[in-house]
Chains A and B, each alone.
Chain A
Amino acid sequence: MDNTTQIVLAIVTLLGSAGIWKYAEARLRVKAELKKEEKSESDTILYRDDLRRRVEDMDNALKEAHKELLELTQKVAKLETENSFLRREIDILKSK
């Protein structure tokens, strides 16, 4: 085999292998990008689910707090009434 043939074959092979590799590399890149997007999408879904759960928890806590506030308001009203009666009784006792 003469030198020219060898050089031509080497160049052709190099170009061919570069072409094959460029194609394979592009495919690998696309696949990696798709995988990355899928991963980020699944992260977003997880984050959204977490937020939804937290909103539910906070809503329950708010309802509980409302209930407690109502009970406390009732107790305060009751105590105020009791207090006013006691004051009146004290006044009556003092005036005697």
Chain B
Amino acid sequence: MLTLKKKIETIVAELTLRYDSLRKIWQYSDSQPTEITLAAALVILYPIATYLELGYSPIMQLMAPIAGLYQLYCVSGKCLSCRVRASFVTFSFYLLAGVMYLYCGLLFQGPSYWGWILLAVSSFGSLKRIKKEELHRKNG
């Protein structure tokens, strides 16, 4: 009984350690690859998917690729404030997709539609990471 309790405690401690490690990686790791992926999805996937599933929407299908390209431009330029702006725009677009799908009643028709929420969360995490980096560089 005692060994089982000890084993459970060890497993819980290990899992807590792993969780903390994941949290730190999520908060502080380099976010350029995520930004590039999100931007590429915004340029390629976003207009096609929204056009096929929601129909023609100029705000989403014309503006989103521009926002994605702007994000790619900012990542390549290594300017932090530019990246913050671009990430905010990207986050807004992914959130807009989520809202549009919710409005059209598609969001809860299948789990694959929750991907938009996942992308919104991912872009928000990326946005927070860049802002943290900016503040860290400012404060020294």
A residues in contact (CB < 8 Å) with B: 1, 3, 5-7, 9-10, 12-14, 16-18, 20-21, 24-25, 28-29, 32-33, 35-36
Which of B55, B95, B99, B128 touches A24 (beta carbons < 8 Å)? B128
- The answer to the question of B132 belonging to the interface, with a C-beta cut-off of 8 Å to chain A, is yes
Inter-chain contacts of A1 with B (CB < 8 A): 54-55, 57, 100, 103-104
Q: Which residue of B lies closest to A16 (CB)?
A: B95
Bound-state CA distance A24–B130 (Å) is 12
Chain B at the A interface: mostly helix, strand, loop or mixed? helix
> How many residues of chain B are within 8 Å of chain A by beta carbon?
23
Which of A7, A18, A20 touches B59 (beta carbons < 8 Å)? A7
Q: Which residue of A lies closest to B98 (CB)?
A: A13
Bound-state CA distance A52–B3 (Å) is 50
Inter-chain contacts of A32 with B (CB < 8 A): 132, 135-136, 139
Q: Which residue of B lies closest to A8 (CB)?
A: B103
Bound-state CA distance A65–B127 (Å) is 63
